[in-house]
């Protein structure tokens, strides 16, 4: 007797799928005069949530960031107004205060507004500030979570963020501040059995590695740099903590990229070929460093 029966809750065809969407639209419609902060995930279109897709397709206006991938942008209906407010270092289309006011103004003019962000709106996405501004002006603001870059990039690379005996905790840390270098309590970060994930840390990779080593973390701690994680052009570069800045510079790493620091990186296994960049630095298309 087969104990494993197919669940009747699983949609069997496109019609059933659309019935789910229709029912959810009735239960929780995207209404005029409201703002929805939507996480687009780390880039892979398949990691976009069903709710995010439903909300995007009902919007009148999409206010989007530069980290939203092209395949996800392609899901936006053609007649939907798109407003690019993408920000990168020293290159801001609009300042954050201007973005906050734009969302409120669009909603007050009766539009169904979606603020589409890479990753998750509440993890280094300024979503909290945008929500607070909407609330201050009595504009209804809804949140649709997304898969944050740390989780998506780690999974796509086969690097577990926690692992028994290697990492009992994980920290998500910003590697950038308004002044440039992050002002952090490095002594609390430089401890064993912990995984550190730095967002926006590429430009300050040398400072990050120096501070961690100075405050007691072993210079041979495994590190990974993940560029354009979860996307077809994803690149993973691995090495040791004292090599981090060299890894970034020699491999011409560009944003978006993430730093993972900790013993869990030793579990990474990339595609194997006979080619090497040098003795210490490897990528997903080169022989991984043996820790």
Q: Tokens 């197919």 — which residue?
A: 6
Task: Report the candidate in 279, 206, 258, 192 with the shortest Cα–Cα distance to residue 42.
Answer: 258
In whole angstroms, give the CA distance from residue 57 to residue 78: 10
The phi and psi torsions of 63 (rounded to 5 degrees) equal -100, 110
Dihedral of CA atoms 150, 155, 157, 159 in degrees, nearest 10, equals: 80
Contact 39, 69 (CB under 8 A): no
Contact 226, 234 (CB under 8 A): yes
Query: Is residue 14 classed as helix, strand or coil in its secondary structure?
Result: helix
In whole angstroms, give the CA distance from residue 80 to residue 36: 15
Catalytic residue IDs: 65, 87
Query: Is residue 277 classed as helix, strand or coil in its secondary structure?
Result: coil
């Amino acid at each position: 007797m087969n104990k494993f029966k197919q669940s009747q809750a699983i949609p069997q065809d496109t019609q059933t799928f659309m019935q789910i969407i229709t029912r959810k639209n009735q239960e929780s419609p995207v209404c005029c005069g409201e703002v929805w902060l939507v996480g687009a995930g780390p880039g892979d279109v398949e990691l976009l949530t069903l709710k995010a897709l439903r909300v995007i397709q009902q919007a009148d206006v999409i206010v989007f960031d530069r980290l939203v991938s092209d395949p996800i942008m392609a899901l936006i209906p053609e007649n939907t107004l798109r407003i690019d407010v993408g920000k990168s270092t020293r290159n801001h289309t609009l300042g954050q205060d201007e973005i906050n006011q734009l969302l409120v103004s669009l909603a007050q003019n009766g539009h169904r507004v979606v603020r589409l962000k890479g990753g998750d709106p509440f993890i280094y996405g300024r979503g909290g500030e945008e929500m607070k501004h909407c609330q201050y002006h009595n504009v209804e603001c809804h949140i649709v979570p997304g898969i944050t870059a740390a989780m998506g990039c780690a999974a796509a690379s086969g690097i577990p963020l926690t692992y028994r005996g290697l990492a009992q905790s994980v920290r998500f840390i910003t590697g950038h501040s308004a002044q440039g270098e992050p002002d952090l309590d490095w002594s609390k970060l430089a401890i064993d059995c912990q995984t550190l994930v730095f967002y926006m840390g590429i430009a300050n990779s040398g400072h990050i590695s120096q501070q961690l080593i100075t405050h007691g973390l072993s210079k041979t701690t495994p590190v990974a740099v993940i560029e354009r994680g979860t996307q077809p052009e994803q690149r993973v570069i691995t090495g040791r903590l004292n090599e981090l800045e060299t890894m970034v510079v020699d491999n011409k790493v560009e944003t978006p990229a993430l730093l993972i620091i900790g013993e869990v990186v030793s579990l990474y296994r990339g595609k194997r070929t006979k080619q090497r960049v040098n003795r210490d630095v490897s990528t997903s298309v080169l022989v991984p460093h043996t820790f």
